[in-house]
Homo-oligomer: A and B are copies of this chain.
Amino acid sequence: MSRKIRMGMIGGGRGAFIGAVHRMAAALDGEMELVCGAFSSNPERSKLSGADLYLDPNRVYGSYQEMIDQERKMPEDIRMDFVTIVTPNHLHFGPSKLALENGFHVVCDKPLCFDLAQANELVKLVENNNSIFGLTYNYTGYPMVKQARQMVLQNEIGKIRRVVVSYSQGWLSTALEKTDQKQASWRTDPTKAGVGGALGDIGTHAHNLAEYITSLEITKVCADINKVVEGRQLDDDVNVLLKFNNGASGTLTATQVAAGDENDLSIKIYGETGGLEWNQMQPNTLIVKKLDKPTHYYRTGVGDLYPCTVAATRLPAGHPEGYLEAFANVYKNVAKCIQAKISKQELDPLHLDFPTVHDGLRGMQFVHKVIESGSSEKKWIQL
């Protein structure tokens, strides 16, 4: 018999940002419930956060190690099924590894981890344990992104020639990290974020989006990497020339110093016979261009869309679905996979449509090669 999937959260205590996003996304569809958490490395703060969330105080832990250890010992019908990791980048690997080793499935915020070595190890752990590992490259959760991917696969725009993906934010236009802004401070700190700044934080989203929609792989990069704000240790403005494995060209941008930009992730893809255009800030519209024909505006919920698009949609046409709904699509599919695993029931293959540890590894590889290119005098760096 099926039941709600039980989630334990690592990180995401008071003052955090992405923790609340994960909780809302996980709650939305009623497929999972938060049952425990290690919300902070400060046990008291963790307790307070747990109380905010109306959790049983006995299941609010002072560390992820404690949580995994205690939950592991609980009866099967009570203990958590998976952990969700919402800590800064340098704290992804530890809890992921421990959870996997103890038989828990994992959902982890992006990027996958701190460096390539960790990434490779996580891939092995997931494969060896036959675990489910969801990575919240949430932007590929949008219905119209899924539609775009299918349209490419179904050859609706012909062989792809050109890809322009850009993720442009302005919130780090000033040295925000020198104030006590928590989000800015760890993201600009190479000991916490890893080798990439804007590149790791948002460039990985852009990379994932481009490869997801096109079903292509980036094979060469030529990068211009900038640290625009004085004193910043990591990149905050990155432009990359791209080559894809089918010969297509393109550009990728990740910047956090585009003053006045909000969260402008956009992609344009051109094939031999047409083009696709999508912008995260108008996520329910997919612009479909045709050579010498009127442009079509595909919309969430309107007309004949691919099954994966429909499956990712909750509302009728014209009822805007946003960031949390896309995020929740990752969680929903993970929940369905865990549920199938637990109940040993057959799984609708549509539920396999979420980013995994393998996407995470690709993202880490991309970051490392772009960084390498940034300091190289050679034009092209092979991925």
Binding site for B on A (CB under 8 A): 2-4, 17, 20-21, 23-24, 27-30, 34, 53-54, 157-158, 161-162, 164, 166, 169-171, 173-174, 222, 224, 226, 228, 237, 239, 241, 243, 249-251, 253, 255, 257-264, 268, 270-275, 280-284, 288-299, 301-303, 314-325, 376-379
A322's partner among B253, B273, B322 (CB-CB below 8 A) is B322
Given known A255-B162, A293-B303, A379-B378, contact A54–B4 (CB-CB < 8 A):
yes
B259 and A249 form a contact (CB under 8 A): no
| Whole-angstrom distance between the Cβ of A319 and the nearest chain B Cβ | 4
Q: Can you tell how many copies of this chain the complex includes? A: 4
B250 and A251 form a contact (CB under 8 A): no
10 pairs of A and B residues whose beta carbons are closest in the complex: A260-B289, A263-B318, A262-B318, A322-B322, A320-B322, A262-B317, A319-B323, A294-B296, A260-B275, A295-B297
Instruction: Name the residue of chain B whose CB is nearest to the CB of A319.
Output: B323
B30 and A34 form a contact (CB under 8 A): yes
| Whole-angstrom distance between the Cβ of A196 and the nearest chain B Cβ | 17
A251 and B239 form a contact (CB under 8 A): yes
A259 and B250 form a contact (CB under 8 A): no
On chain B, the residues within 8 Å of A29 by CB distance are: 24, 27
| Whole-angstrom distance between the Cβ of A177 and the nearest chain B Cβ | 16
Given known A28-B28, A169-B318, A241-B222, contact A162–B258 (CB-CB < 8 A):
yes
Please name 8 further chain A to chain B contacts, defined as beta carbons within 8 Å, in addition to the given A20-B314, A262-B302, A315-B322, sorted by A numbering: A157-B259, A257-B270, A262-B318, A281-B320, A283-B320, A294-B297, A295-B299, A376-B379
Given known A162-B237, A259-B157, A275-B260, contact A298–B294 (CB-CB < 8 A):
yes
The 6 listed contacts between A and B (C-beta, < 8 Å) are A2-B54, A161-B257, A262-B318, A281-B318, A315-B324, A324-B324
